[in-house]
Amino acid sequence: MLIMVKLIEDKELSKLQSLIEASHNIVICAHVNPDGDAIGASLALMHFLMRHGKECHVVVPNQFPDFLHWMPGAQQVNVYAKQEEASSAIVKAADLIMILDLNDSKRLMGLETAVLESQAPKVMIDHHMNPGDFCQTVISHPEMCATGEVLCHLFWQMGEIENLSVEESTCLYAAMMCDTGAFTYASGRPVIYECISHLLSRGIDKDRIYRNVYWTASPARLRLHGYMLYVKMKMLNGLHASVMTLTNEERKLFSTKNGDTEGLVNMPLQIQGLRLSIFLTEDTETPGVVKVSLRSVDDFPCNEMAAEFFNGGGHKNASGGRLQGTMEDALKRVDEAVRKFAPLLK
């Protein structure tokens, strides 16, 4: 039985298709510290638009992890932090801007000014809660596992799902896989697997996609993970929670590359009974900023903790934020947050 989702009314879909058809130079932007969903969804849409004869550019605020560079089209991604003037010029020249996998313009960081100053119409396609109002067209479905899934349904509603290329389908599958931990969480809705069925029918190699993302560790990365689990992981007694910290000095000890810490925050959740894992790491690009990653199981609301204590947000079981200050300041904030949410952790 077909269970794909109609995302928007036919009238709104027709407006979106007309907007795309009338545009010639389309720019796709995603959030700071782009992850697999942000990059995968952006590249899938880029390939789709280019296949329909559009000039298309992907611009992200800063570098994305090395283990995502295998994705078709990844070498075409423009990184604002590396080429600010060129990236701003690309955004300025756009006659349509499509915002993927973010709900708040602040998450564009250095790109925000260029995007907000552009007179081009803006379209948001996302799966985070509480979408902002800086886009004229908003397709937001927080119940979906990834922006990659939102795009799958959108392509289906456009009548394009059977026309997707291997490149488009590969990027969509990777997007969904990355935002669900290889479909181990936030992936219980049956329609997700209908999306996967469509993508498999287009000829993707899902096993190779998995290996490209999860089985590309360097010896340095494995040693870093061992160090973090053996030395740095601290259990918060009686609260079924853990916290890990990583400084930039420690990064140097292991010669870490971009993306080497990916997945670390999930690992403590393998401990029986653990409900919350917190990972604090000094920002490698912005001195005096500590990045916060939160992961949980069952009904513990990471997004509420992130919003109240860490200037962030996200999903119930996977959220993040940023704090100004030192690692010691961040740990004090963690202590405040954990004490506030202690009844849910005992």
pLDDT recorded at residue 1: 56
pLDDT recorded at residue 21: 97
pTM higher than the cut 0.85: yes
Three-class DSSP category at 219: helix
Q: Specify the amino acid at residue 166.
A: V
- Separation between Cα atoms, residue 290 and residue 310, nearest integer Å: 10
Which DSSP letter does residue 105 get?
G
pLDDT recorded at residue 266: 94
pLDDT recorded at residue 2: 64
- Separation between Cα atoms, residue 124 and residue 107, nearest integer Å: 13
Query: Is residue 189 within 8 Å of 221, Cβ to Cβ?
Result: no
- Is residue 315 very low, low, confident or very high in pLDDT (cuts 50, 70, 90)? confident
Could you tell me the domains of the chain? 10-214 (3.90.1640.10), 219-345 (3.10.310.30)
- Average pLDDT of the chain is 95
pLDDT tens sequence across 116-146: 999 999 999 999 989 999 999 999 999 999 9
pLDDT recorded at residue 346: 87
pLDDT recorded at residue 166: 98
- List Cα–Cα distances, 270 to 49, 237, 275, 286, 296, in angstroms: 40, 17, 10, 31, 11
Q: Specify the amino acid at residue 43.
A: L
- Separation between Cα atoms, residue 34 and residue 38, nearest integer Å: 5
pLDDT recorded at residue 293: 96
pLDDT recorded at residue 170: 98
Query: Is residue 126 within 8 Å of 147, Cβ to Cβ?
Result: yes
pLDDT tens sequence across 25-66: 999 999 998 999 999 999 999 999 999 999 999 999 999 999
Strand partners, 296: 276
- Separation between Cα atoms, residue 126 and residue 301, nearest integer Å: 20
Closest CA to 127 of 108, 106, 149, 104: 149
Closest CA to 277 of 228, 209, 325: 228
- Separation between Cα atoms, residue 279 and residue 225, nearest integer Å: 12
- List Cα–Cα distances, 140 to 155, 233, 307, in angstroms: 15, 36, 19
- Whether 235 shows a pLDDT value over 70: the answer reads yes
Give the mean pLDDT of 303-330.
Answer: 94
pLDDT tens sequence across 163-212: 999 999 999 999 999 999 999 888 999 999 999 999 999 999 999 999 99
